[in-house]
Structure 1
Amino acid sequence: MTLPSLSLSLQFGALADAALHRAALPRHTVARCIRHALETDAEITVRIVDAEEGQALNRDYRGKDYATNVLTFDYATDPLVMADLVLCAPVVAREAAELKKPLAEHYAHLLVHGTLHAQGWDHETSEADAEAMEARETAILAGLGQPNPYAA
């Protein structure tokens, strides 16, 4: 299987525990997760941010005044996907701990999730769309050797 090409920029904001997040997100792993979720070639920037930056972006662009795990800013889908994925390190770390999952595993799920959003997938439009997106994420993650993120 030939995967789509990817031009990737991986950025880390000012994080108190940057080493932990850098270790969970080696560039080759980030690229692998995204490429497996792509349906076409892409130019994607992944930025790992602190809670303050994550909250400001969520508030300014979505009108929700809290830091969320992943934000997707999609700019184009044809002829190639162009997007920014912003992952909030403290939120991702907290969720991984609550779910009793390795940090790298949770990041893999959110990278796939955000990449699907960049291609027009949406889980907030209907229950059927949510189920379809979850099924697609689960299949992609299985192909990456990752467990089902929605399994109890």
Structure 2
Amino acid sequence: MEPLVDTVIEDPRWEAIDLPARAEAAARAAFAELGLRPEGFTLCVMGCDDARIAELNGEFRQKGKPTNVLSWPSEERGADEPGLRPDVPDPGEPDDPEELGDIAIAWETCEREAVEQGKPMAAHVTHLVVHAVLHLLGYDHIDEADAELMEATEIAALARLGVADPY
């Protein structure tokens, strides 16, 4: 079975929670919840620190401060109407998978949030990766109807992994 997620570890603290395995499981749970087979797709998750994500946040969102997770879809996949599911992308070939995009996740911010929310770090990170994968697949939370759909999809995907409702 080919991995769905290519993981890049920039900060070695991510090894403590096995980010590659966690990101793979989270992405596969999101795909399963959407009825989407992971074969023919790929995405990248980078485990970094707050300094690196603040740099990326400044460069791409003009917000030069740390955040928990960022995502860069390879193309716009959003639904035409608020509250509707985005169209599922077509898979690529096994030797040329469809690239969905990139995700960056910051250690210090995730750790601080997990402590503040009284959650295990691993559960919080799993939620954030599911959230970011859904962004790569065209989900968003700007509009209330879209936010409700995205949150319900996250909750169901996380339940597949035994992770409690984060909301």
Q: What TM-score does the superposition give when structure 2 sets the normalisation length?
A: 0.78
Give the Å deviation of 1:5: 6.1
RMSD: 1.8
What whole-Å deviation, never above 9, does each CA across 1:88-124 have from its counterpart, x for those lacking one? 1111011001001111000000010000000000001
Equivalent of 2:6 in 5, 9, 24:
9
Q: In structure 2, what is the equivalent of residue 25 of structure 1?
A: 18
What whole-Å deviation, never above 9, does each CA across 1:58-106 have from its counterpart, x for those lacking one? 1111111211111011114443352111001111011001001111000
Structure 2 counterpart of 1:35, one-letter code: R
Structure 2 counterpart of 1:12, one-letter code: I
Whether 1:37 aligns to 2:30 is yes
Instruction: Tell me which moved more, 34-43 or 110-119.
Output: 34-43
> Sequence identity, in percent?
35
**CA–CA separation in structure 2 for the residues paired with 1:65 and 1:71:** 13
Instruction: Please show how residues 1-152 of structure 1 align to structure 2 within 5 Å.
Output: 6-13=3-10, 15=11, 18-19=12-13, 21-38=14-31, 39-41=36-38, 42-76=41-75, 77-79=89-91, 80-124=98-142, 126-150=143-167
Higher relative contact order (CA 8 A, sep 6+): 2
**CA–CA separation in structure 2 for the residues paired with 1:144 and 1:107:** 12
1:46 is paired with a residue whose SS is strand
Q: What TM-score does the superposition give when structure 1 sets the normalisation length?
A: 0.85
Residues 1:132 and 1:7: Cα distance change in structure 2 (over 3 Å): closer
Q: In structure 1, what is the equivalent of residue 84 of structure 2?
A: none
Give ranges in structure 2 of 5+ residues lacking alignment: 76-88, 92-97
**CA–CA separation in structure 1 for the residues paired with 2:114 and 2:136:** 23
**CA–CA separation in structure 1 for the residues paired with 2:160 and 2:37:** 17
Give the Å deviation of 1:128: 1.0
Give ranges in structure 1 of 5+ residues lacking alignment: none
